[in-house]
Structure 1
């Protein structure tokens, strides 16, 4: 009977649960957003699907799917799943879960997953109590936190977990969620006559600011408090939507990442002489309730550190502004606060302080306020999430300035400060306009170089040792070519990589090392290569192991799109007629802004040319060598034809650049080399047979054998094609 009552109670709780809870996705296919870490082929999706989830920590703002992901894992795992909320649970609850996990493991061999919501709320003692059981595998931890785990979570727990940073949902995802809520007859409002205007829907999505829970709570409030009209319709107008969700929240915790990242961006904007960005970050701190005295203290430091004797009045101005603030108070005190910031960014007083309030309006109205990764505080978790990577230190450049963007991506080009034409600011007006133009010109290139690092995880010593063994096994020459193939590649840990026509694992080693949360797929050049490469990969863990395929058609329907596509010596067997179709086939697998890297190596000298150089052969042999050298030049025409390849790639939307260099070698002449050239099925011999008699071929072969144990020169031309795909 108690089970019947419990089941009935659970049904009632589900029926009366908030809309946001009722609409939680039940599977990965229903999950909205976070494609960068959950897209097809990426590590987290593969791990969930394979029920190989290890210790995880999900980190991100509210309403982006942290708890939902944990519930999806609970629904798919064969392990026992239990959960605690760190706000309500204590050490006693932890010990109970650990004891139960030990019992299940000892008696039934059953693994246990323990989900801890708001894991940062556990104090040090509670986290320490959990650590031994995570270390010995008694429980597998899945934590969710809105705070930086590198600062708020036990470092030992962090080092044993993979970290995934979840981002605010995009507007398209929120619109899809809104439509599902109105259409779903079981969990949403599909059975009720709800009509929402386009303006109302746009307002709800915009003000929700990437928070799915905020959006659904506002929709629920609007529907439940709106009376049906005469036709029985519940009409949600823009006015009702505005009453249901009135103000966008500025995500800011004075003790957390937002505090440190925002003040870091503010100081770097001052140092970079960008008054627009300085006003924006100042406005964000003011709107979030940051103590102005703290801002003044940091500006005093900046006046000494970044202005110094270049303008000794900087400290005086900031100090005077701080004193004025103390006398005037808020809200009028915002004027001297903004004045000090503008002075440090471009040094002098002016009546253009009203630009601060333009920035303040923008903070209130802007939907995307995230600090760009290169401006974030790198001292706390730069290694894990790449915070601060790519920041260009202005003092390292001429005139202590470099073209660099300090505003969020969605606000590039926004102008808050309009300097007048008179006095101190008039003298700097033209320079500021030139610098703004340079910043805009550099913005596109800088965004291509940098990306958001969304995941982190512990190092894998076994994988590192395996990669070192593989890279050393192919020889120093090929290892240098591997470095050229991937030179200046800007990897993201969650990138997916496709290696075409591989005969060796050498070209896949870099992505295996740099993209542990993404995925590597290797297309073998032949069935024999696939078998051989598969044997070499068997020693790797199944989650680390790249996928081996023979035909690109095996990826059809998988949904995988690759940020990197690369190959050494591709398309050799591809005729000009098939080139277009082959290029189209791998282009269809390229993600937006994907990069293609193809490395071609072409000999410039054949055997006859090598014999001719550095020696004076008999007259009859010299004449034969001259004829053969002409034949060899025909043979050495590059395949595929670079011009035809350029046309095929350009038609598919790739932007191309070539890098060309030569390598000079001395080929040791031995029996194997002569056999490779003159065996019955050798392409070189077959081509010569179309132009020379048998006697002439034998004469050439004999001349080479006379050089056994000697060397002949060779020149290789290497061409690296780097192509980028438009968004």
Structure 2
């Protein structure tokens, strides 16, 4: 790279080139960023919004009175942490804040820059604020990649408001950002863009002079496929669209075939509102129930590739863990719930691994539908009107006057008896003696079969007390 001092180029736009250059510092990179010409950049960069009103999505962050609006409209210095998946607008929001407030904008990447540059930028920002009153927006991309010492270097600037710090992270900041920095910053959570938001991004890029300026057209099927491929990521949407525009035929029409060729991703025939949605999820659940782990993984991959909401997949796995595995492997529900939490915590693409682990666990687990049969049988009796009065000895006896009504009289405290089980009636008269839960001999449930037989024998007076 050519040294600016060697060429005599001024460090600032308004400095006299004849004046000797100041000691080297990283400021030139920041100043150039303010006036950079994006006309030759990637489509995603050229289409970056120039004002908050042009930002698509994130309505919960951009309404009147929100912190971002306060930062822009009232020029209030504050520190923000922007947490969200890639392509949701973290860098865009930081850039817009700097542009519309005419603040000096400095971008530091935690991937390529170290603590030396951070300290140099902070010192320059402090001098700028003291000499001219001009504030600096210090944007740290991928801030979670900074280690503790590097994050510590940000604290004086944040504490003293020498900069308006904006950190962007795709990782949970409660795990990846040090507590002092987190406590001094306002945490804003960005959501993946909705389908309608992505379609607006596409429409703008196709028509805008900064974008493709009407040079190509996207047919509806290709647009649907592009939206599915994007997965809520605006940057990915524009990157794929630009790639397709480069290989578009002479008539400028981008169809599904052109899009597949451009991004090397086959269009999965899948309509989230139509038959494919229901057919695939049905086949997915039945494959797990049938213990065909390979077929289940195929349908999981098919749904993920088609852009199905991973939270929907996770919910079905959680239901299946109790419906078709149940007590045959009680840990299956724990795995399923953990996978659902992982989807919320890390999102796709990483969460595909967590979902796959849950699918493999459930598919290979012993199966039992005794849980769902038990609760449905009990609910069926309730619907038939078999919901008699609660036996007197089980009724609440804590309030004044309950004893006069006979509430609690004769109740036997189970812990006072051998085995913790004592003969007494728990169910109402009209369902007493009904066996709703009928465990199988599959997996861990076989043990519960034996335990349940002994418990029922004691409760109903067919066996000896204790030893359960």
* Other-structure match for 1:189: 212
Residue 88 of structure 1: how far off its partner (Å): 2.0
Residue 236 (str. 1) matches residue 258 (str. 2): no
Residue 24 of structure 1: how far off its partner (Å): 0.2
Structure 1 residues 430, 15: CA separation in 2 closer, same or farther (over 3 Å shift)?
A: same
Residue 93 (str. 1) matches residue 117 (str. 2): yes
**3-state SS of 1:40 partner:** coil
**3-state SS of 1:33 partner:** coil
CA contact (8 A) 2:247 2:258 kept: no
**3-state SS of 2:310 partner:** coil
Q: TM-score, normalised by structure 2?
A: 0.55
Structure 1 residues 426, 370: CA separation in 2 closer, same or farther (over 3 Å shift)?
A: closer
* Other-structure match for 1:57: 81
Q: How many Å separate the matches in 1 of 2:61 and 2:243?
A: 32
Q: How many Å separate the matches in 1 of 2:94 and 2:378?
A: 47
* Other-structure match for 1:361: 302
The CA deviation string for residues 341-392 of structure 1, in whole angstroms up to 9 with x for no partner, is x7xxxxxxx55655554344323334322489999xxxxxxxxxxxxxxxxx
Q: How many Å separate the matches in 1 of 2:231 and 2:200?
A: 15
Structure 1 residues 43, 134: CA separation in 2 closer, same or farther (over 3 Å shift)?
A: closer
Residue 156 of structure 1: how far off its partner (Å): 0.7
CA contact (8 A) 2:33 2:105 kept: no
Residue 79 of structure 1: how far off its partner (Å): 3.9
Residue 162 of structure 1: how far off its partner (Å): 0.4
**3-state SS of 1:61 partner:** coil
Residue 213 (str. 1) matches residue 235 (str. 2): yes
- Segments of structure 1 that go 5 or more residues without pairing to the other structure are 249-275, 281-334, 343-349, 376-393, 396-400, 410-415, 438-727
* Other-structure match for 1:200: 222
CA contact (8 A) 1:51 1:78 kept: no
Residue 82 of structure 1: how far off its partner (Å): 2.0
Q: How many Å separate the matches in 2 of 1:123 and 1:131?
A: 13
Structure 1 segment 268-347 matched on structure 2, within 5 A: none
Q: How many Å separate the matches in 1 of 2:241 and 2:374?
A: 49
Structure 1 residues 428, 83: CA separation in 2 closer, same or farther (over 3 Å shift)?
A: closer
Structure 1 residues 182, 434: CA separation in 2 closer, same or farther (over 3 Å shift)?
A: farther
Residue 431 of structure 1: how far off its partner (Å): 4.6
Q: How many Å separate the matches in 1 of 2:107 and 2:172?
A: 21
Q: 1:120 aligns with which of 108, 132, 144?
A: 144
Structure 1 residues 106, 44: CA separation in 2 closer, same or farther (over 3 Å shift)?
A: closer
Identify, as 1 or 2, the structure richer in strand. 1
- Segments of structure 2 that go 5 or more residues without pairing to the other structure are 1-7, 18-27, 267-280, 317-325, 328-332, 345-358, 381-468
Q: How many Å separate the matches in 2 of 1:352 and 1:16?
A: 51
Residue 221 of structure 1: how far off its partner (Å): 0.6
Q: CA RMSD in A?
A: 4.4
Residue 205 of structure 1: how far off its partner (Å): 0.9
The CA deviation string for residues 530-584 of structure 1, in whole angstroms up to 9 with x for no partner, is xxxxxxxxxxxxxxxxxxxxxxxxxxxxxxxxxxxxxxxxxxxxxxxxxxxxxxx
CA contact (8 A) 2:247 2:262 kept: no
Q: How many Å separate the matches in 1 of 2:300 and 2:214?
A: 44
Q: How many Å separate the matches in 2 of 1:424 and 1:155?
A: 45
Residue 45 of structure 1: how far off its partner (Å): 2.2
Q: TM-score, normalised by structure 1?
A: 0.37
* Other-structure match for 1:245: 263
